[in-house]
Amino acid sequence: MPHSTNKELILGIMVGTTGISLLLLWYRKICKPRTGMNLSKFLSLGNTFDSMTLQDEMHNGQGAAAIFQGRQLQILEKLNELLTNMEELKSEIRVLKEAIPKLEEYIHGELGGKTTAHKISPQHRARKRRLATVQSSGTSNSSEEAESEGEYITANTDTEEQSFPVSVALNTHAEELNLDSVLQKVDNLRSNESSKMESFELLYDYKEKFRDEVEFIWRFSRAYGDMCELSTNTQEKKHYANIGKTLGEKAITRAPMNGHCHLWYAVLCGYVSEFEGLQNKINYGYRFKEHLDKAIQFLPEEPFLYYLTGRYCYSVSKLSWIEKKMAATLFGIIPSSTVQEALQNFLKVEELHPGFSKSNYMFLAKCYMDLQQIDNARKFCDLAMLLPCVTKEDEDAQNEVKTMSTSLKR
């Protein structure tokens, strides 16, 4: 086939694929009756709200107030549904834009008889490593171990399931290490960002032996949070977060006076909330703050707790009217905090651990910008730029600090 013809074929396939994808996107968001929104009904919410206001003024009393509150909640839920659909649409368009440039490379590979490499998630890299260890040792595991593995099995995509067999429990070190040795090794591994997955695998291997030990449980919960951060697959992230939260609940039930149990339960609640609707996000937000406060009672010198509390205060200070109204309607309490409260927590982190993280400096700069203290904002932007980027959070903070520094120079 001539090169020009081949190029035309590729371009034709690209255009056709793009057209079909956009058509499907339009059909899912606009035409499907189960997920599409009725725009006329949404636009009429303003009139409905006005009529509800008049009705509330005409009918005094507890019954009328309850009816008004219920209808107000319906309006807030509709607005939340609109925001959710807009975010989903933006996400799908972004994915489509990223996929189109890779289409030509994919077609070239297919026409040339090449196979495309599948991106392997952290979960399945761990599986592959455990499987290789099992094969090299030449040993087999009992059916009981396989069944216990099933209790913690993680989510798979169809492609990954075909590429990687389900692993069986690997307990090759069960006789070698006692609990204290395992915990020390886990903590040492986790101190290095690149070894967090190995830390998780070690805990996973010992989950049956030490499943009732509190110090093991909260570390296992923490490790599931690490895997949630490392994973690039949305379903896997949700799965890791939910298992970690469940382990966190088990930990605080067994040791309600242990600050680490409350800390990591709060963190996992935060991860789970990322996959929930507005109502559950608010609910998890209350739970997050409740267990942070408890953790601070038992660990008053832990800087990470004040960093998380500062993040919470800063987020609450930026809540929209809709979110505050939703919280008041559902729970009878409006979450409140100020930038000044957030600032005090971030300063406490710096007091306990100078140079704690790039993100802490970034939030200090943001607070000072909001409070119009420009010199202090510049100071913490400069300090943030001096710290190295180690984690994904550091990279995100670095980008935001650069943006802030540019605006502060104007």
Per-residue pLDDT band at 258 (split at 50, 70, 90): very high
Among 367, 354, 268, which residue's Cα sits nearest to residue 315? 367
Using the structure block, give the residue that is written with the tokens 């949700």. Answer: 238
Per-residue pLDDT band at 298 (split at 50, 70, 90): very high
Q: Is the pLDDT of residue 374 over 90?
A: yes
- pLDDT value at residue 131: 41
- pLDDT value at residue 103: 61
Among 150, 139, 127, which residue's Cα sits nearest to residue 174? 139
Longest alpha-carbon distance in the chain = 82
Q: Is the pLDDT of residue 380 over 60?
A: yes
**Average pLDDT over every residue of 324-345:** 83
Q: What is the pLDDT of residues 140-194, one digit of tens each?
A: 333 333 333 334 433 333 333 333 333 334 444 445 789 999 999 999 999 988 8
Residue that wins the pLDDT comparison between 202 and 71: 202
For 117-161, give the DSSP string.
Answer: PPPPPHHHHHHHHHHHHHHHHT----HHHHHHHHTTPPP--HHHH
Q: Which two tokens stand for residue 106?
A: 């994919």
Q: How far apart are CA 354 and CA 348, in angstroms?
A: 10
∠60-64-70 over CA atoms, to 5°?
A: 150
Q: How far apart are CA 233 and CA 125, in angstroms?
A: 13
Task: For the full predicted model, state whether its pTM sits above 0.75.
Answer: no
**Average pLDDT over every residue of 17-45:** 44
Per-residue pLDDT band at 81 (split at 50, 70, 90): confident
> Within 10 A of 94 (CB to CB), how many other CB atoms are there?
10
Q: Is the pLDDT of residue 265 over 70?
A: yes
**Average pLDDT over every residue of 255-274:** 96
Report the run of H or E that residue 191 belongs to, with start and end.
none
- pLDDT value at residue 105: 61
Residue that wins the pLDDT comparison between 196 and 154: 196
Average predicted confidence (pLDDT) for the chain:
75
For the chain, give the percent of residues with pLDDT over 70: 61
Q: Is the pLDDT of residue 240 over 80?
A: yes
Per-residue pLDDT band at 40 (split at 50, 70, 90): very low
- pLDDT value at residue 119: 43
The segment with the largest mean pLDDT, out of 62-66, 74-78, 330-334, 358-362, is: 358-362
Q: Is the pLDDT of residue 20 over 70?
A: no
Q: Is the pLDDT of residue 392 over 80?
A: yes
Helix 303-317 to helix 339-352 angle, to the nearest 10 degrees?
160
Residues 6 or more apart whose CB falls under 8 angstroms from that of 29 comprise 35, 36, 85, 88, 89
The segment with the largest mean pLDDT, out of 18-27, 140-149, 257-266, 332-341, is: 257-266
